[in-house]
Chain A
Amino acid sequence: MTLLELEDVTASYGPVQVLDGVSLSVPENGAFGILGANGAGKTTTLRAISGAVRTGGRIVFDGKDISGMRPDQVAALGIAHVPEGRGSFGDLTVRENLRVGAYLRKDRKGIDEDIDYCLDLFPNLQDRIKSNASALSGGEQQMLAVARAIMSKPRMLLLDEASLGLAPSTAKNVYDAIRRLRLESGIAMVVVEQNANLAFTVVDDATVLETGRSVLTGTSAELKGMDEIRRAYLGG
């Protein structure tokens, strides 16, 4: 059962074509990776899904054409975007940030339960629950951003470069938690990542973008074995 389907999606910033016909498909409970170098169009693909850029082609979520919708409308359908750069609210505490994530929800009890779940998922946040977000480390802020997205009880998470700027051990912690989240919650995911090795710990399938096109698509296992991937992203 397909949850998200992109068909020949194009996008441009002014005269510059950044997506030149991207197609992909994510099943219910599935996790899909988008790999590629800087400027290949990975982030733009996520922004296209979340409604932040105008696109050509078709984007279908849960049987509904969502291309042309506003970001807040897309979000209301249950697609939570964890943007690159995290964007947490520095003057709010960790707990307040989590509550912000649950802004559209009304089930007080469920919110409290989900906060507990997030803190269990990211024990680091538990220790900093009363700190202002601006006082968190980069890794903690990334965890907070993911946790905030979880708080909206999404059907699908869009994760953008969750490892960016983090020490390798921290990045691994973050991805461990994301894998556990996937296993326990069944939330579908689209994961954009430069570090293919990390991505493969979470996703089932992936595509490699180059200058706005899919050049290679396959399962994690297939891709891991390929020379191109090894050379380009695994430092092999």
Chain B
Amino acid sequence: MLQTVLEPGTAENTALFRETYLAAYRFMLLARLLDDKFAALWRSGRIHGGVFLGRGQEALSAAAGVSLKKGDVFAPLIRDAAGRLAFGETVLDAARTYLGSALGPMRGRDGNVHRGKPKEGYLPMISHLGAMISVVNGILLARRFKKIPGTVGVASVGDGATSTGAFHEALNQAAVEKLPLVLIVANNQYAYSTPTSRQFACRDLADKAVGYGVEAGSVDGTDLDACLKTVGRAVARARAGRGPQMVVATLLRLCGHGEHDDAGYIDPKLKKTPAGRDCLKVAEEHLLRQKWAESATLTAWRSEAIHEIEQVIAQVQREPAPDPFAEEWRAISSKQLSETHDESEN
């Protein structure tokens, strides 16, 4: 990947880039179909709590996931189904969390997009925006302590999170420590219902990076080709020791904040702008135009993905739900210091 993005000219690198593109596209497709399935399950009342889709953000998210390698760190946000899959999450773990299976990584204790495996560098987001960035910083600093070289950490946020104190503190912290952090900002034009005009007053969010002494790049978030190159370059720079990098992608959220939200506030004119394009369609057209895939292949991939998702959902629906009577109601790992025993004795 590193060579590909830095020297895209050679034939070998063109082949490598094509492979990366195809892999990223398939994660985008799988994520879109998985999201659609979760939405359908939510509408039929089979998912408890919220469902949050990444529709329109798959190209950027997948680019983040495929740019990372094993041992790297990824702190996704709510619209990162594609990036999660590309980083190594299984459809099974995603489904188990959404459907509340006791066998999932969160065991019904947390749900939907709040899932991860911290020991594998895959961080489970909390709901407070910008809060995961400094946690990524901590892992990166720890790797430096332990003299483990070459780690890159990606934290994913939206335009709304750029207004938080946590964002400011963490980006400044990463810059001070020169950490290999890549901060990916998906400017999807709305933070829940709030348009960017009520969120920030700078010309371009990438301008903010200058104030932190951080390198930044802007990218069309609907274009997988551009996303792979820009994110890949940022990851390569961070890995090469050039300190934190910021990538700001312009795109449009093609769904509500969650499935409970009809997104009636989205300006219809935005949908006709380049940012309003569907990145999945853009990628498909690119594949066909480049003759990297045929139409029949795309159809086959779609069927394959649907088949995998259906199989997994069918399996998870048969799995046990968490049992409140078997649950160990203990919030700390030190058993002897837990107060929970008071309740069970009463």
The answer to whether A binds B is no
Q: Which residues of B contact A (CB under 8 A)?
A: none
